[in-house]
Amino acid sequence: MAEVKVSIERAIAIMTVSRPEKLNAFDLDMLKSLASACDEVEANAVVRVAILTGEGKAFSAGGDIKAWGGMRAEEFGHAWVRFGHRVFERLATMRMPVIAAINGHALGGGLELAAAADIRIAEAQVKIGLPETSLGMVPGWSGTQRLVRRFGAQIVRRMALGGEMFSAEEALRHGLIDSVVETGTVLSAARDYAARIAQRGPAAVEICKLMIASANGEDNGMAVEALGGILAAKTGDLREGVAAFGEKRSAQFKGEW
């Protein structure tokens, strides 16, 4: 069954896109499974880092053409593009850092999936690209938005307009990925990097992720309100306000941090 599998190794969660017979291409059920996996991982208070990888020889071939090719235009726009966009945004805004362990080709939506992670490690044989325009289609899961913010407009133009496909080493030079490792070793390398992150202060890491996203223009409103909410939740004033509400009395705020 197509799904995103979740396993927990102490402070590290591993999310595996599992549809190997279709090169881990996404259909609607896979999108729903990815959203559920994000919820499951984020709800686990022990988890400090998540690793995202693919089962078999591909990371992800993107969206399954058979899943969307026959959709009506309005259905395609709402049930496919907008829903997929929300799911990938869910992945990008998880509280903990996400490492993409790119074990095989990441094309179209597969590259958009990898771009939603904070760190990308790829095996040497990997190819990366945005082939959508060769089908008369455009990237729909933030390929022209998040990828431009994170990697720059020109490299996205070369992939989306010119159809250029990059090897892992070329992608490394262009800043599309952060490191290249030997074939068959990416999950081990991702675990090592995840362990490095997990040793650091989890609150500081989460706050840094929010601040970096805000500086990069990624959902500033959510980042600012999340930071503000965390700060307010730590104050004595909040404890007093909640207590006063429960006791049906006027709150006596003291400006305590």
Residues tagged active-site: 112, 132
Look up tokens 């020109």; give the residue: 154
User: Which residues in 150-165 are b (16+ Cβ under 10 Å) and which e?
Assistant: bbeeebbebbbeeeeb
Structure tokens at 239: 């404890």
Q: How many DSSP H helices and E strands does the chain contain?
A: 12, 10
Rounded distance between C-alpha atoms, residue 100 and residue 124, angstroms: 14
Task: Enter the tokens of residue 73.
Answer: 């235009």
Q: Pairing relation of β-strands 119-123 and 179-181?
A: parallel
**Pairing mode, if any, of strands 179-181 and 127-129?**
unpaired
**Do the Cβ atoms of 184 and 64 come closer than 8 Å?**
no
Nearest one of 43, 68, 59, 158 to 51, comparing CA atoms: 59
Return the amino acid letter for 253: F
- Beta pairing, strands 3-9 & 12-18: antiparallel
Report the distance separating Cα 41 and Cα 18, nearest Å. Answer: 17
Find out whether 44 and 38 touch, Cβ atoms under 8 Å.
no
